A and B are shown apart, each in its own frame.
Chain A
Amino acid sequence: MDVSLCWRPPAWTVGEKRMRTAPTLRRLLSALTLLHVMVQVNSQKRGALRDLKCTTNNLQVWDCAWKAPLGAGHGTVNEVCIDDRLHSCYPLEKGNVKIPALPPGDHEVIVNYLHGFNGSSAKFILNEQNVSLIPNTPEILTLSADFSTSTLYLTWDDRSCAFAHHSKVTWEIKVLRTPRMELINLVTFNTTLNGRDTVHYWRWTSDLPLQCATHYVGIRCYLDHLHFAGPKEWSAWSPLMNISWAPESEAKAFPQDKVVLVGSNITFCCVSQTKVLSGQIGKTFYPLIHLYGQNVAIHIQNISVSENSGTNVVFMIEDNVCGTVVFAGYPPDVPQKLNCETHDLKDIICNWNPGRPTGLVGPRNTNYTLLDSFSGKSVTFKRFETLTNESYQLLFQMPPHQEIYNLTLTARNPLGQSESAILVNITERVCPHTPTSLKVKDINSTVVTLSWHLPGNFARINLVCQIEIWKPNSKQELQNITIKGVENSSYLVVVDKLNPYTTYTFRIRCSTEPFWKWSKWSSGKRHLTTEAIPSKGPDTWREWSSDGRNLIIYWKPLPISEANGKILSYNVSCSSHEEVQSMSEILDPQHRAELQLVKDDYIISVVAKNSAGPSPPSRIASMEIPNDDLTVEQAVGLGKKIRLSWPPDPNVTCDYVIKWCNSSRSEPCLMDWKKVPSNSTEAVIESDQFRPGVRYNFFLYGCRSQGYQLLRSIIGYIEELAPIVAPNFTVEDTSADSILVRWEDIPVEELRGFLRGYLFYFQKGERDTPKMRSLETGHSDIKVKNITDTSQKTLRIADLQGKTSYRLVLRAYTDGGLGPEKSMFVVTKENSVGLIIAILIPVAVAVIVGVVTSTLCYRKREWIKETFYPDIPNPENCKALQFQKSVCEGSNALKTLEMNPCTPNDVEVLETRSIIPKIEDTEIISPVAERPEEISEAEPENHVVVSYCPPIIEEEIANPAADDAGGTSQVVYIDVQSMCQPQARPEDEQDIDPIVGAGYKPQMRLPINSAVEETAAENDADSTAGYRPQANVNTWNLVSPDSPRSTDSNSEIVSFGSPCSVNSRQFLIPPKDDDSPKSNGGAWSFTNFFQNKPND
């Protein structure tokens, strides 16, 4: 605001004086001017208006207020004058002044001071643009709440702004909530003023139930007046109004029984006087949000669909519980597949699929309303419980004479609604009920009437009904009929072209025109049509009896389609040119009659009769025209059929008859017959009686006016099989190199096919040979002859060996296979030259062999003896095995000989002796001896290697050098006492007893010899110890194992000289008397393998 203040009278004075004074006074004037300016400035400071503010709330009056200048109170101002044309002044009221609204433009306002300033005034420029438009504070008329929906309802009017017509007003509403009076919601709301006092409504739904906390509401407004140039400001807030819930004594949870959309966020609270311990939804516990007092809340985000009885929200309180149930579900889906049709044109049935389940049941279940917009009628579908999809259907009663319906199905639940519509012409949507009460009535044997009941009023439309006619052993037949609909629901149609005496099953279903749907089939109705006379006479044939006197008439029972009823009897009559002879009736099960005829030229007629009457007669001539030119042919069938063909015969005028019989039957032979038309040239005969492997005779007759003539005779098989027997055959003649065989025919019954030939096998063989080779294996020694000439009955087999047994086999075969075999053994006659040669040659060979052998044996007798029968030492003397078990027990080194397989080793006899005549027995050389590198060093000049078993004796004392060089290949004998004496000592006293020492004894049990041996050992060590007999010298001379003396010897003389002591370190070789004749090494070299035997 442009405000200025002037001090006018002095200004005028200063101006006039300057005009009149001389220039010399200019300096004085300048000084005065400066003084004036100073005063002016000083006076302005003292009278200036501070914080001047002008507002208006109705555009009529401006209300200006300011703070008084420094040093002056309001009481010093008496009026405010506006410098306009009227120069109107307004008294100042309480520090502000109300000025009527001024026109646009600047206006000078003068404030006249009454006191203190000596009539001075202040003035300022006032413009509309400097005035603020602040509407009056609006007032809330009412504030109410719907606690069940947590909705606040607010009303107010626009009285405070009513002056500003057609102006826009913006209202701002704030909602606060305890305990912290936080701002929950702030909304703006625009209206336009219309000059009248209008009441405005606003509602707001709280996310927190209103019961849970006190809610406050305030309002203010903003007036947007188009023609006001000054600034516009919000009004002040109205006084707050609140909504609160009067808590009950019992704790309660809110919101109660609320239905919400699945996935929404929701807050539950518990208003309680006591402390709430926990809050849960279903099974899930949620953190408590404390509101005020003991009130708490829990907040759930994205709630899931509820179970049938809703989701329980439970708050556990110290001594109580409070809870509520929330129902989370979906709004109803759009009803799908809405389909409306009628069964009877009385009611419309609409069914639909509800689509997605809403999750809401019971009172919140979806209800459906079906409304026809043309008639305005509606029906409602309301179910409490959950339903299957098929159950959603509504029955809508049709108003009379209305055909077209615009049906709208609306689904509603607490969360919303949806709808689906259909426009139908109901006469095109008729699915009739199932026809009932189906009845059949005979008109005649081929025509019946069907009547049924079809509920509904179809008088305005046509029905199309389908009749299913079914008879046994045939395909069902469908007949469509169109009938005019009637009101009384009874319908009747005629069904014709039926067969007489046939059981039919009828059923019916109906639809309408135009076709929409078939009804269900009615239940079937069986009906037997009445009988009619047989349509044909029976199929007849005649056979002359074997004596030619009687004619036997055969006929086949009529098929049911031709009998037209139950055949009761047959009438057979015969007639010639002169007379008609009638026969009496023949009752049904019999289908043949025998006539005694004096002539052979009759016409026989057979008539079948049922209750409706006789059939047309079937006639057959009795005469048989002879045929001289008759051949017998063969035929083989295929499967169960046999095909016969013949050339066309113009003489045949009536028909052909093929009769057949089993060839093995006697005359008159007739199994069956078949008639074929006279223009046929072939027939396929098929019968269940045909059996494979059975020969049948087929006879083809041609019918001429005067009778039948046999045209062809055929023998045939349905299927050929192999013969079941072999032909009987005999040997007619035998020579040294040939055999003549003769066989017989196989009977027809056993042949089972057309004979194609014989197979004749022969081979050498004896009757008693346990197993002859199979004929099929095709061995080279089996010869086969194939006889394809079936008339051949003999066969000569040549080029045989004399005096040899032959096996002959004969088999017959057909196209069905080979028959069984029959065999016979025949011995050809003897050939004498061969026999003589056969005896002489072996004898000569045997003599020559004997002579040569004898000569050789004589010449080599010495070698033979040495090789096969050398002298054998007696193993009984082998005392080396007589260890005392107890003495050497536990010593692995002192084991008795084991009979395990062993590797022969060498014994090198190092001592050079001139008298060892038999030791050249080098055949039994150990493989070890063949290893030159092992024996080379230790080998003396004349050593002899002898097989020795086993080689575990090591040289320790006698020849350390040899041990090093030769390994185990050398045998060294050590002192017995030095090795075993400590163990042997306890036994020594016993062993001293000479009686005890009988038989085998361990080698250390020799106290007598010990001293001798000791010295002997020393001596041995000195002299190169070659092989020596293992016996004590003393005993050696007395006894040897093989000696007869030793066999029962129990003397004190002990023998321990066996070279077979294997694992022991026994001293085997005595020190002296090496050259005893009995210690001949060659004597035991072979028998050492049997060393244990005497001890056994």
Chain B
Amino acid sequence: MDLRAGDSWGMLACLCTVLWHLPAVPALNRTGDPGPGPSIQKTYDLTRYLEHQLRSLAGTYLNYLGPPFNEPDFNPPRLGADTLPRATVNLEVWQSLNDKLRLTQNYEAYSHLLCYLRALNRQAATAELRRSLAHFCTSLQGLLGSIAGVMAALGYPLPQPLPGTELTWAPGPAHSDFLQKMDDFWLLKELQTWLWRSAKDFNRLKKKMQPPAAAVTLHLEAHGF
């Protein structure tokens, strides 16, 4: 698992630039309703930024978990983390999904993962880790909002949380610290996979929603993602 810390400030600046330009660009080129394009682009960029942010967070958190969790070749089986939404999916299955289904899965997955992350934050024993986790939770909350925005723009309804879902999705009843650490480890891993997958999803959606050649959108390369 390649989780490396990077220059988060640089990335933040990059993101700010992207976000600054995003609302302006369609307005320059198009009149009337800009459509879902900008919000998809924004969601895509946020996903890439979260990917970068996760690298830094995972480095810190795995060091907190201690060896062998922070060893690069540690690849344990998935113990007790069954409640985590899995991001891995067969390519054919993935291709067969429609946009609505994809977005719904993304939305649901991040809702679950956010719950786990918040629980993680409550248990963290160092102030620095708490700050990092809180920052990431805020960003992930932003991503959820963005996905909801895209779905709204495309006219898809938001998935309704089932009653009591929050409780079942919360980390399970007290099991051992070791299993908890395994859960945390898998949570980070799943988060990363989900962000990869989402980036792919949004990229696909973005291309699909691209306006005809007459309407030009500014493509901002986010270097370093």
Chain A residues with a Cβ under 8 A of chain B: 250, 253, 256-257, 280, 282-283, 307-314, 319-321, 323-325, 361-362, 365, 384-386
**Which of A250, A257, A282, A386 lies in contact with B126, CB distance below 8 A?**
A386
Residue numbers in A under 8 Å from B72 (CB-CB):
none
> Contact between A310 and B127 (Cβ–Cβ < 8 Å)?
no
Apart from the given pairs A280-B68, A324-B178, 4 other A-B contacts in the complex at a CB distance below 8 Å: A253-B178, A282-B66, A310-B66, A321-B79
Bound Cα distance from A320 to B126, whole angstroms = 30
**Which of A283, A310, A362, A385 lies in contact with B68, CB distance below 8 A?**
A283
> Contact between B77 and A309 (Cβ–Cβ < 8 Å)?
no
> Contact between B176 and A324 (Cβ–Cβ < 8 Å)?
yes
Bound Cα distance from A282 to B66, whole angstroms = 7
The 8 A CB mask of B94-125 against A (1 = contact, 0 = none) is 00000000000000000000000000000111
> Contact between A385 and B66 (Cβ–Cβ < 8 Å)?
no
> Contact between A325 and B64 (Cβ–Cβ < 8 Å)?
no
Residue numbers in A under 8 Å from B71 (CB-CB):
283
Contacts A309-B181, A321-B77; A384 near B176 (Cβ below 8 A): no
Residue numbers in A under 8 Å from B206 (CB-CB):
none
Question: Within 8 Å of chain A (Cβ to Cβ): is B76?
Answer: yes
Residue numbers in B under 8 Å from A384 (CB-CB):
123, 125
> Contact between A385 and B79 (Cβ–Cβ < 8 Å)?
no
Residue numbers in A under 8 Å from B124 (CB-CB):
385
- Least distance between A14 CB and chain B CB atoms (Å): 93
> Contact between B178 and A325 (Cβ–Cβ < 8 Å)?
yes
> Contact between B64 and A308 (Cβ–Cβ < 8 Å)?
yes
Residue numbers in A under 8 Å from B77 (CB-CB):
319-321
- Least distance between A531 CB and chain B CB atoms (Å): 58
Residue numbers in A under 8 Å from B125 (CB-CB):
308-309, 361-362, 365, 384-386
Bound Cα distance from A256 to B175, whole angstroms = 10
Bound Cα distance from A319 to B68, whole angstroms = 17
> Contact between A309 and B68 (Cβ–Cβ < 8 Å)?
no
Bound Cα distance from A282 to B71, whole angstroms = 10
Bound Cα distance from A253 to B79, whole angstroms = 13
Closest B residue, CB atoms, query A312 = B66
**Which of B69, B79, B126 lies in contact with A312, CB distance below 8 A?**
B69
Question: Within 8 Å of chain A (Cβ to Cβ): is B65?
Answer: yes
Contacts A282-B67, A312-B67, A386-B126; A321 near B181 (Cβ below 8 A): no
- Least distance between A388 CB and chain B CB atoms (Å): 9
> Contact between B178 and A309 (Cβ–Cβ < 8 Å)?
no
Please name the 5 residue pairs, one residue from A and one from B, whose CB atoms are nearest each other, closest first.
A325-B177, A361-B125, A362-B125, A323-B178, A283-B67
27 A-B pairs within 8 Å (CB atoms) are namely: A250-B79, A256-B176, A256-B178, A280-B68, A282-B68, A307-B64, A308-B125, A308-B126, A309-B66, A309-B125, A309-B177, A310-B66, A311-B66, A313-B178, A314-B68, A314-B178, A319-B77, A320-B79, A321-B77, A323-B182, A324-B176, A325-B176, A325-B177, A325-B178, A362-B125, A385-B126, A385-B130
Bound Cα distance from A855 to B24, whole angstroms = 122
Residue numbers in A under 8 Å from B182 (CB-CB):
323
Bound Cα distance from A312 to B182, whole angstroms = 11
Bound Cα distance from A319 to B64, whole angstroms = 26
Bound Cα distance from A307 to B130, whole angstroms = 16
Residue numbers in B under 8 Å from A320 (CB-CB):
77, 79
- Least distance between A363 CB and chain B CB atoms (Å): 9
Closest B residue, CB atoms, query A360 = B125
Residue numbers in B under 8 Å from A386 (CB-CB):
125-127
Chain A interface SS verdict (over half):
loop
Bound Cα distance from A313 to B177, whole angstroms = 11
Closest A residue, CB atoms, query B180 = A325
Bound Cα distance from A472 to B127, whole angstroms = 47
Bound Cα distance from A312 to B66, whole angstroms = 7
Residue among A321, A324, A386 with the highest chain B CB neighbour number at 10 A: A321
Residue numbers in B under 8 Å from A308 (CB-CB):
64, 125-126
Chain B residues with a Cβ under 8 A of chain A: 64-69, 71, 76-77, 79, 123-127, 130, 176-178, 181-182
> Contact between B176 and A257 (Cβ–Cβ < 8 Å)?
yes
Bound Cα distance from A384 to B124, whole angstroms = 8
- Least distance between A358 CB and chain B CB atoms (Å): 12
Bound Cα distance from A312 to B181, whole angstroms = 9
- Least distance between A315 CB and chain B CB atoms (Å): 10
Residue among A314, A323, A362 with the highest chain B CB neighbour number at 10 A: A323
Residue numbers in A under 8 Å from B69 (CB-CB):
312
Residue numbers in B under 8 Å from A311 (CB-CB):
66
- Least distance between B125 CB and chain A CB atoms (Å): 4
Closest B residue, CB atoms, query A365 = B125
- Least distance between A986 CB and chain B CB atoms (Å): 83
Residue among A250, A280, A308 with the highest chain B CB neighbour number at 10 A: A308
Residue numbers in B under 8 Å from A257 (CB-CB):
176-178
Residue numbers in B under 8 Å from A324 (CB-CB):
176-178
Residue numbers in A under 8 Å from B126 (CB-CB):
308, 361, 385-386
Bound Cα distance from A325 to B182, whole angstroms = 11
Closest A residue, CB atoms, query B63 = A307
Residue numbers in B under 8 Å from A280 (CB-CB):
68
Residue numbers in A under 8 Å from B76 (CB-CB):
321
Closest B residue, CB atoms, query A320 = B77
Residue numbers in A under 8 Å from B65 (CB-CB):
309, 312
Bound Cα distance from A365 to B65, whole angstroms = 17
Bound Cα distance from A361 to B125, whole angstroms = 6
Residue numbers in A under 8 Å from B127 (CB-CB):
385-386
> Contact between A325 and B181 (Cβ–Cβ < 8 Å)?
yes
Residue numbers in B under 8 Å from A365 (CB-CB):
125
Residue numbers in B under 8 Å from A253 (CB-CB):
178
> Contact between B123 and A312 (Cβ–Cβ < 8 Å)?
no
- Least distance between A103 CB and chain B CB atoms (Å): 67
Bound Cα distance from A672 to B195, whole angstroms = 87
- Least distance between B176 CB and chain A CB atoms (Å): 5
Bound Cα distance from A280 to B74, whole angstroms = 13
Closest B residue, CB atoms, query A257 = B177
Bound Cα distance from A319 to B125, whole angstroms = 32
Closest B residue, CB atoms, query A313 = B178
Bound Cα distance from A487 to B125, whole angstroms = 43
Closest A residue, CB atoms, query B184 = A309
Bound Cα distance from A257 to B175, whole angstroms = 10
> Contact between B176 and A312 (Cβ–Cβ < 8 Å)?
no
Bound Cα distance from A324 to B181, whole angstroms = 10
- Least distance between A632 CB and chain B CB atoms (Å): 81
Residue numbers in B under 8 Å from A309 (CB-CB):
64-66, 125, 177, 181
Residue numbers in B under 8 Å from A385 (CB-CB):
124-127, 130
Bound Cα distance from A253 to B181, whole angstroms = 14
- Least distance between B199 CB and chain A CB atoms (Å): 30
- Least distance between A1080 CB and chain B CB atoms (Å): 104
Bound Cα distance from A324 to B175, whole angstroms = 11
Residue numbers in A under 8 Å from B66 (CB-CB):
282, 307, 309-312
- Least distance between B78 CB and chain A CB atoms (Å): 10
- Least distance between B119 CB and chain A CB atoms (Å): 13
Bound Cα distance from A590 to B198, whole angstroms = 85
Bound Cα distance from A319 to B75, whole angstroms = 11
Residue numbers in A under 8 Å from B176 (CB-CB):
256-257, 324-325
- Least distance between B50 CB and chain A CB atoms (Å): 24
Contacts A256-B176, A256-B178, A321-B76; A312 near B130 (Cβ below 8 A): no
Bound Cα distance from A390 to B79, whole angstroms = 41
> Contact between B123 and A362 (Cβ–Cβ < 8 Å)?
yes
Bound Cα distance from A307 to B18, whole angstroms = 40
Residue among A280, A309, A362 with the highest chain B CB neighbour number at 10 A: A309
- Least distance between B133 CB and chain A CB atoms (Å): 12
Residue numbers in B under 8 Å from A323 (CB-CB):
178, 182
> Contact between A310 and B177 (Cβ–Cβ < 8 Å)?
yes
Residue numbers in B under 8 Å from A361 (CB-CB):
125-126
Closest B residue, CB atoms, query A317 = B77
> Contact between B68 and A312 (Cβ–Cβ < 8 Å)?
yes
Residue numbers in A under 8 Å from B123 (CB-CB):
362, 384
Bound Cα distance from A313 to B67, whole angstroms = 9
Residue among B65, B69, B178 with the highest chain A CB neighbour number at 10 A: B178
Residue numbers in A under 8 Å from B68 (CB-CB):
280, 282-283, 312, 314
